[in-house]
Chains A and B, each alone.
Chain A
Amino acid sequence: MTKLLRGAFVIGRRDFSATVLSKTFLFFLLGPIFPLLFGVVFGGIGATVANSRQKPVVAVVASEADFNRLDAARDRLATAIDDEHVIRLTRFDPEPNPNVQRAHLLASKDPPVQAVLTGLPDHPQLTGSIKRDGTTAGQLRILLADLEGDAQAEPALAVDHTDTSTANTSRDLALTGQAAQTALFFFTLLLSTMLLSQLVEEKSNKIIEVVAAAVPIESLFVGKLFAMLAASILGLIVWISAGAAVLASFKGLGALPTPEMGWPTFLTLVILYFGMNYLILGALFLTIGAQASTVREVQTLSMPVTFGQVLIFGLAATAVGSPNSTLAKVAAIFPFSSPLTMVARAAEQPGLMQHVIALAWQALWVAIILKLGASLFRKTVLKSGPRTKWFRFGRA
């Protein structure tokens, strides 16, 4: 293991110096402008998906008959204006203690409850983080007027404003998660595809023989991966510094709601998940790129690899706003989408243990992919190994 790490350090140091001290690194630093635009576009798609899945509702605590009349009025309104723009209603049976029930409903996340309507049919009262004259209260007044058969009359609707509701918090936290996810996606998109071409230099310059005779192939893979990670982190520092200056000019991080676990822990997790996302995808791209012999082959590989990343982002984006859905759980377990999914989860849910487990799971996959990549390289590029075994583990 020591020999492997020492070899990886020598390779990594050379690669890091060669990357950072080259003139092209300046262009690399300008790179985020393009994927930033790309990320914003796809972030918008993700937001649409998330919004449609977890649109906040008004919880109606009423008898089935009262609710059905109100819901019928809603349907009539929905035919007049677009259904998407009409508030959604969900019925709950009245419980013995209305105050406890109201508090319980306002704390519910599945579905996120924007407000609770009680007192139907004679003394309707709306409780939640809503404005007295806002869209939700306004639409409810229209529905109540419809029930009374006088569209012109102003029905009595008492509005009890609370500071927060789960709908607002949930949606805003999803925004924080989505911002982190989008940032991770485009940084990784920008950086990890560079690993496709990392081994072409060694192969085309025949240096691979010198290296392969001196250190295990795993050292080559690990060294290259971490050298590019270090160069990427250097780039990130520059970009984050520039980004922070831009944010300070506008609303800054204050524009985003504070994550469940607080900013310091959340930002630490963002950095860790960036590292893991980079390492997992980077290890995969290094393995794929190692099979290419020429720059032309690498270029051919770039497009499907980029599409693959977008698909992974799409899978992870479905988890934003509904972290407990089946798809979100699949995305959190699937190694390639796990970091992007978990970073969004970090914004929306408290609890560190799930992240410790996720990071360990992702680190395991980095090791597995690197080992498989090195074995594949030995087998297919160096043409090594006995004829009866496909892979030889535990050699390095």
Chain B
Amino acid sequence: MLQQVQPASTSTGPAVQAANLIKDFGATRAVNGVSLTVPTGSIYGLLGPNGAGKTTTIRMLLGIIDPSEGTRVVLGRDRPLEAAQEIGYLPEERGLYPAMHARDAIAFMGALRGLPLREARRRADVLLKEHNLGDWAKKPIRTLSKGMAQTVQLLGTIIHKPRLIVLDEPFSGLDAINQAKLEELIRREARAGATIIFSTHVIAHAERLCERVAIIAKGKIAFDGRVDEAREMLRPIVRLTTRERDGPWRSAIPAASRTEDNHFVFELPESGPEPLLKALIDGGAGIEALAIERPGLHDAFVAIAGKSAAAEMAQEKPQ
């Protein structure tokens, strides 16, 4: 049953709402009923392995392509292109005119989003100086390093001070220093009031930056909510090392536990840590080490999207 999203107010409603988005490419269903809500002012992560449908979802949200079925409302408009001047977009496959000067490339992207050319050039100069690229302003893009070109494109994405910034795999191809700079830029834009959506297949970025995440696997949303909600879906993990190999204390350990490097790993029983500790001590386990860990987003991802999706993400090139 198709859910119809009602257009939200531009000031108080969610920045993005999508209902039952479906996209078929021929016989292949790339996105299969994605529904999500991105609160205004949040940093929102789209997590999933390559081919999960993240980019297709983003392209539908931005109006680059129309969905086969379903609706979306972006900044209060059900035709996303009508809100284009308030949106910044960094596509996964970076694109700049190689012969264009860095300053003109940024200004061009600003002009596309409605800035007068003169103002766009002024802002481009300011942004380039802020990012230590002032000396490169009048150099053709083809002479810039990959990292510099990526920064130029990112500056072009935010030059018009958009209310919604959509970044598709923004950390891809960046070294650690530039990744840290980009994280800072994302936080700064969020502090300034922008809503930020970014897709990634690197969970660590999402864990550090996002307040909310959607986990996409095989074209479907497996989870949409706050990061801590995702974590809370799992019980805390207990890592236990004992002197004794066997004894009455073994009955306190759940049957589904596993052994890793000579220690037991299992979910904390619902009764909590105290009964567990008491049973171990009373049963003579000889506790050498006991750690109760809060599950990470990766653990939540494994639990939500399935081990196969997690394995796929692990195989992808780390950023």
With a cutoff of 8 Å between Cβ atoms, the chain B residues found around residue A202 in the complex are 95
Given A7-B112, A210-B112, A214-B112, verify A384-B66 contact (CB < 8 Å): yes
Most buried by A among B64, B65, B111, B117: B64
CB of B73 within 8 A of chain A?
A: no
Annotate A212-247 by CB proximity to B: 1 below 8 A, 0 otherwise: 111110000000000000000000000000000000
Given A18-B99, A387-B24, verify A209-B64 contact (CB < 8 Å): yes
Given A18-B97, A205-B97, A206-B91, verify A213-B66 contact (CB < 8 Å): no
Q: Is the CB of B97 within 8 A of A213?
A: no
**Dominant SS among interface residues on chain A:** helix
CB of A386 within 8 A of chain B?
A: yes
A209 → chain B, closest Cβ, in Å? 4
CB of A392 within 8 A of chain B?
A: yes
Which residue of chain B has its CB nearest to the CB of A204? Answer: B95
Chain B contributes a number of interface residues (CB within 8 A of A) equal to: 34
With a cutoff of 8 Å between Cβ atoms, the chain A residues found around residue B24 in the complex are 387
Chain B stretch 186-242: residues in CB contact (< 8 A) with chain A = none
Which residue of chain A has its CB nearest to the CB of B61? Answer: A213
Annotate B59-101 by CB proximity to A: 1 below 8 A, 0 otherwise: 1001111111100000000010110100101010111111110
Q: Is the CB of A206 within 8 A of B66?
A: no
How long is the Cα–Cα vector from A209 to B103 in the complex, in angstroms? 20
Q: Is the CB of B65 within 8 A of A378?
A: yes
With a cutoff of 8 Å between Cβ atoms, the chain A residues found around residue B59 in the complex are 209
CB of A201 within 8 A of chain B?
A: yes
Given A213-B84, A215-B84, verify A207-B64 contact (CB < 8 Å): no
Most buried by B among A10, A13, A214: A214
With a cutoff of 8 Å between Cβ atoms, the chain A residues found around residue B62 in the complex are 213
State which size class the interface on A falls in.
Answer: 20 to 34
With a cutoff of 8 Å between Cβ atoms, the chain A residues found around residue B108 in the complex are 10, 14
With a cutoff of 8 Å between Cβ atoms, the chain A residues found around residue B156 in the complex are 210
Chain A stretch 1-60: residues in CB contact (< 8 A) with chain B = 3, 6-7, 10-11, 13-14, 18, 22
CB of A104 within 8 A of chain B?
A: no
CB of B38 within 8 A of chain A?
A: no
Which residue of chain A has its CB nearest to the CB of B69? Answer: A386
Q: Is the CB of A205 within 8 A of B98?
A: yes
CB of B114 within 8 A of chain A?
A: yes
CB of A382 within 8 A of chain B?
A: yes
With a cutoff of 8 Å between Cβ atoms, the chain B residues found around residue A11 in the complex are 112
Most buried by B among A208, A383, A385, A387: A383
Q: Is the CB of B96 within 8 A of A386?
A: no
Which residue of chain A has its CB nearest to the CB of B95? Answer: A206
Which residue of chain B has its CB nearest to the CB of A21? Answer: B99
Which residue in B65, B82, B93 is a CB contact (below 8 Å) of A206?
Answer: B93
Q: Is the CB of A205 within 8 A of B111?
A: no
With a cutoff of 8 Å between Cβ atoms, the chain A residues found around residue B87 in the complex are 213
CB of B109 within 8 A of chain A?
A: yes
Which residue in A3, A13, A206 is a CB contact (below 8 Å) of B94?
Answer: A206
Annotate B109-146 by CB proximity to A: 1 below 8 A, 0 otherwise: 10111100100000000000000000000000000000
CB of A211 within 8 A of chain B?
A: yes
Chain A stretch 359-395: residues in CB contact (< 8 A) with chain B = 378, 382-387, 392, 395
How long is the Cα–Cα vector from A36 to B185 in the complex, in angstroms? 57
Given A206-B91, A210-B91, A214-B84, verify A384-B97 contact (CB < 8 Å): no
Q: Is the CB of B97 within 8 A of A201?
A: yes
B155 → chain A, closest Cβ, in Å? 13
How long is the Cα–Cα vector from A13 to B93 in the complex, in angstroms? 24
Q: Is the CB of B112 within 8 A of A215?
A: yes
Which residue of chain B has its CB nearest to the CB of A207? Answer: B95
B46 → chain A, closest Cβ, in Å? 16
How long is the Cα–Cα vector from A3 to B25 in the complex, in angstroms? 29
With a cutoff of 8 Å between Cβ atoms, the chain A residues found around residue B111 in the complex are 10, 13
Which residue of chain B has its CB nearest to the CB of A210? Answer: B95
With a cutoff of 8 Å between Cβ atoms, the chain B residues found around residue A211 in the complex are 112
Q: Is the CB of A382 within 8 A of B64?
A: yes
With a cutoff of 8 Å between Cβ atoms, the chain A residues found around residue B91 in the complex are 206, 209-210, 213
Q: Is the CB of A383 within 8 A of B65?
A: yes
How long is the Cα–Cα vector from A211 to B111 in the complex, in angstroms? 11
How long is the Cα–Cα vector from A22 to B100 in the complex, in angstroms? 11
Which residue in B25, B81, B89, B114 is a CB contact (below 8 Å) of A210?
Answer: B89
Which residue of chain B has its CB nearest to the CB of A7? Answer: B112
How long is the Cα–Cα vector from A206 to B55 in the complex, in angstroms? 14
Which residue of chain A has its CB nearest to the CB of B65? Answer: A384
How long is the Cα–Cα vector from A178 to B209 in the complex, in angstroms? 70
Known: A206-B95, A383-B65. 12 other contacts (CB 8 A): A14-B100, A18-B100, A207-B97, A210-B95, A213-B87, A214-B89, A378-B66, A384-B64, A384-B65, A386-B69, A387-B24, A395-B79
Residues of B bordering A, CB below 8 Å: 24-25, 59, 62-69, 79, 81-82, 84, 87, 89, 91, 93-100, 108-109, 111-114, 117, 156
4 tightest A-B CB contacts, nearest first: A206-B95, A384-B65, A209-B91, A207-B95
